[in-house]
Amino acid sequence: MPPGSGAFGAPLYVGWQLTNECNLSCLHCIEESGPGKAFKDELSREEALGVLGRLAVAQVPYLSFSGGEPMLHPAFWELVEAASAREMEVKIETNGHLLSPDDCARLRELGVKAVQVSLDGAGPASYEGLRVGGRFERAVQAVEDLRSAGTPVEINFSPTKFNAHEVGRAVDLAFEWGAAGFYSGRTIIAGNAAKTRGLIEPTEEQYERFFRTLREKAREYEGRMRVCFHELGLIEELNYRLANPAALFIILPNGKVKLINALPFICGDLRRQGVSEVWKSFLDGWRSPQVREFVSKLQQDPGGIGRLHEWAEVRLA
Amino acid sequence: MKLARFVKFREEKFGGVLFETRSEKVYTLSPTAAAVVKEISAGGGPEQVISRLKGRYNDPDGKLGAEAREFIAALASLGLVGE
């Protein structure tokens, strides 16, 4: 039997939410990001670069920068440059609105693995209805500029009741735009999505059609563009993670580390602790009765998922 | 020969891990396989890699060399190493 994540000395993948500040106010944002929503205690430039250096020493091979909108972090470019110089693979998860053609070329020069642009919809009505303050044409322009620069592009699509039917066309557009991958999955009903649930949550029938279309599109584009999607709901995913913790953790804008986005459990603080210490706490966290009981309660009361955003944070005992 | 552009290698207590970051596939390696990948990372063609391995470890019956050659071919067929 191959060694599981617990045998690794450090994570293989780190998802780093650089800032909670965002230029958009998306109805489904699990982080409740938006204008003026930066945490008061976000890592400073020096602290962020220090954390990056420690991740590099721990030989974390793969890093994604997200947010909020990661490009709003004052040290965004320095962090990408530093990660690139340390030969870490970097993915940027962005709404694309702040990307200029020069930025796209710079990302190409820095050798980023991919820029993932959120583009949920096949046209402005659904996209702009979900991504409040966003402009469909602007996001498409960013994708085209990335493609022109030769920077690998991926598209991320969050399904809602008013865009799920467009997914087939959205996959086709992604291919036409030259995307290397198309990513989707169930929208987690937490954060803003819990507040707007009635407006956005797809029905099970919609999800059935949505995933059927994605399965068809995955076959249609096989070998030409990756169509990746997770059909598991949050409870199923949490149960899977309890048995098989992934070799990844999530860094919040203030340096605290979460077991997984959707849960409130904090397993460490990279402002004060080393990567290996936090990694050990992460692995212990997935084994802790506190987390198992929490997931078990969610299973008994799935409505509790909608209240996850009310938990500020829970430090593991 | 070297590891392909999107392949990252890290030594671990159990041996090592190869992470193909494009497909996000993870390959765990035994100590012997990790030793081969470490030599690939140091550069040179397959025969140079095998020669260095033989120099470093005992290989009286040639078994190590044969297994390393087979393993390198498997890495190449998976696109994990290139020129």
Q: What is the pLDDT of residues A131-141, one digit of tens each?
A: 999 999 999 99
State mean pLDDT over B37-59.
89
Q: Which residues in chain B are contacts of A9 at CB distance < 8 A?
A: 10, 12-13
Task: Flag if A61 and B13 touch (Cβ within 8 Å).
Answer: no
Distances (CA, A) of A296 to A194, A229, A261: 20, 25, 17
Q: For residues B49 and B37, what is the distance between their CA atoms, to the nearest angstrom?
A: 9
Residue of A5, A8, A60 to mutate, testing the B interface (most B Cβ within 10 Å of its Cβ): A8
Helix (H, G, I), strand (E, B) or coil at A122: coil
Pairing of strands A153-157, A226-230: unpaired
Q: With an 8 Å Cβ cutoff, is B21 touching chain A?
A: yes
Q: For residues A197 and A161, what is the distance between their CA atoms, to the nearest angstrom?
A: 10
Under 8 Å between Cβ of A260 and A252: no
Helix (H, G, I), strand (E, B) or coil at A180: coil
Domain that holds residue A203: 14-231
The full DSSP string for A225-267 is: SEEEEE---HHHHHHHHHHS--SEEEE-TTSEEESSTTS-EEE
CB neighbour list of residue A304: distance below 8 Å, 6 or more residues apart = A297, A298
Kindly report the number of other CB atoms within 10 A of residue A168's CB atom: 17
Kindly report the number of other CB atoms within 10 A of residue A135's CB atom: 16
Question: For residue A236, what are its two tokens?
Answer: 């199923």
Task: Flag if B19 and A8 touch (Cβ within 8 Å).
Answer: no
CATH architecture of B2-82: Orthogonal Bundle (1.10)
Look at A116 and B51; give whichever has higher pLDDT. A116
Handedness of CA A97, A102, A103, A105 (dihedral sign): positive
The residues that bridge with A17 in the sheet, in sequence order, are A66
CATH number at residue A93: 3.20.20.70
CB neighbour list of residue A178: distance below 8 Å, 6 or more residues apart = A143, A147, A153
Q: Check whether B16 has a pLDDT greater than 70.
A: yes
Residue A158 DSSP code: -
The reported pLDDT for the residue numbered A198 is 93
Q: For residues A56 and A141, what is the distance between their CA atoms, to the nearest angstrom?
A: 33
The low-confidence residues of chain A, meaning pLDDT below 70, are: 1-2, 306-317
For the entire predicted model, the pTM comes to 0.92
Q: With an 8 Å Cβ cutoff, is B17 touching chain A?
A: yes
Kindly state whether residue A50 falls inside one of the protein's structural domains: yes
The reported pLDDT for the residue numbered A305 is 72
Q: For residues A26 and A192, what is the distance between their CA atoms, to the nearest angstrom?
A: 8
The reported pLDDT for the residue numbered A233 is 82
Q: Which residue in A242, A178, A193, A183 sits closest to A214, CA to CA?
A: A183
Minimum distance, in Å, between the CA of residue A8 and any CA atom of chain B: 6
Burial state string for B31-51 with b = 16 or more CB within 10 A and e = fewer than 16: eebbbbbbbbeeeeebeebbe
The reported pLDDT for the residue numbered A243 is 87
The residues that bridge with A184 in the sheet, in sequence order, are A157, A229
Number of domains in chain A: 1
The reported pLDDT for the residue numbered A235 is 86
Pairing of strands A25-26, B15-20: unpaired
The reported pLDDT for the residue numbered A250 is 93
The reported pLDDT for the residue numbered A153 is 97
The beta-carbon neighbor of A12 closest among B6, B17, B22 is B17
| Phi then psi dihedrals of residue A3, to 5 deg | -65, 140
Minimum distance, in Å, between the CA of residue A93 and any CA atom of chain B: 15
The beta-carbon neighbor of B19 closest among A2, A9, A62 is A62
Kindly state whether residue A8 falls inside one of the protein's structural domains: no
Kindly state whether residue A306 falls inside one of the protein's structural domains: no
Distances (CA, A) of A22 to A29, A31, A47, A88, A149: 10, 10, 21, 25, 25
Q: With an 8 Å Cβ cutoff, is B63 touching chain A?
A: no
Q: Which residue in A263, A256, A234 sits closest to A16, CA to CA?
A: A256
Q: Which residue in A289, A281, A251 sits closest to A66, CA to CA?
A: A251
The reported pLDDT for the residue numbered A261 is 83
Residue A201 one-letter amino acid: E
Q: Which residues in chain A are contacts of B8 at CB distance < 8 A?
A: 61-62, 89
Kindly state whether residue A253 falls inside one of the protein's structural domains: no
Pairing of strands B15-20, B25-29: antiparallel
The reported pLDDT for the residue numbered A99 is 98
Q: What is the pLDDT of residues A239-266, one digit of tens each?
A: 888 888 889 999 999 999 998 888 888 9
State mean pLDDT over B2-31.
93
Q: What is the pLDDT of residues A44-61, one digit of tens each?
A: 999 999 999 999 999 999
Kindly state whether residue A38 falls inside one of the protein's structural domains: yes
Task: Flag if B21 and A61 touch (Cβ within 8 Å).
Answer: yes
Kindly state whether residue A293 falls inside one of the protein's structural domains: no
Q: Which residues in chain A are contacts of B19 at CB distance < 8 A?
A: 12, 61-62
A239 burial via Cβ count (<10 Å: 0-12, 13-18, 19+): middle
The reported pLDDT for the residue numbered A311 is 56
